[in-house]
């Protein structure tokens, strides 16, 4: 079975691993996923991630972050899907949980948070929200 939405697959893997209390999760490598994980690490939602090359295949090992035994990511949700893309200009970007969460946006300047996109005055595709 081919993977239709690799970003949603990565987010679901993170969500499921945190529900089970796993320390880390392994997802297939892509440059786009590493950009999303860089933002999640910078914002403090994941501890770290590492690109592991074995044989002829690359994977990303994501170390999940917990605070007092509960996951830091309370909710991670895919917004734009392959069947229904969601584009917003900088004034229409979603504010997640009154600014406590983030929306990850793919813009012409690269992948960034909603706050950075508003500062840069650029819109784009709303990939996901993280609370």
Length of the chain: 131
Q: Which of 44, 37, 32, 43 is nearest to 110 (CA)?
A: 32
Q: What residue ranges define each of the domains in the chain, with the CATH number in brackets?
A: 6-130 (3.30.1490.10)
The SS3 of residue 26 is: strand
Q: Which two tokens stand for residue 52?
A: 């592991």
pLDDT recorded at residue 1? 44
Give me the pLDDT at residue 3, please. 72
**CA-based nearest residue to 14, from 55, 64, 78:** 64
Low-confidence ranges of the chain (pLDDT < 70): 1-2
Strand extents, DSSP E, the chain: 24-28, 46-54, 57-64, 66-67, 70-71, 76-78, 87-88, 102-107, 110-113, 124-130
Q: How confident is the model over 105-125, as pLDDT tens digits?
A: 999 999 999 999 999 999 999
Q: How far apart are CA 69 and CA 67, in angstroms?
A: 5
pLDDT of residue 80: 97
pTM: 0.94
């Amino acid at each position: 079975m081919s993977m239709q939405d690799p970003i949603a697959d990565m987010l679901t893997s993170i969500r499921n691993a945190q529900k089970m209390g796993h320390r880390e999760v392994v997802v297939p490598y892509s440059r786009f996923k590493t950009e999303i994980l860089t933002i999640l690490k910078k914002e403090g939602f994941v501890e770290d991630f590492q690109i592991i090359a074995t044989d002829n295949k690359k994977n990303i090992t994501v170390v999940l972050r917990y605070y007092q035994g509960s996951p830091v990511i309370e909710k991670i949700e895919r917004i734009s899907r392959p069947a229904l893309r969601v584009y917003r200009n900088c004034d229409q970007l979603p504010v997640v949980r009154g600014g406590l969460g983030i929306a990850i946006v793919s813009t012409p300047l690269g992948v960034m948070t909603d706050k950075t996109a508003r500062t840069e005055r650029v819109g784009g595709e709303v990939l996901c929200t993280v609370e």
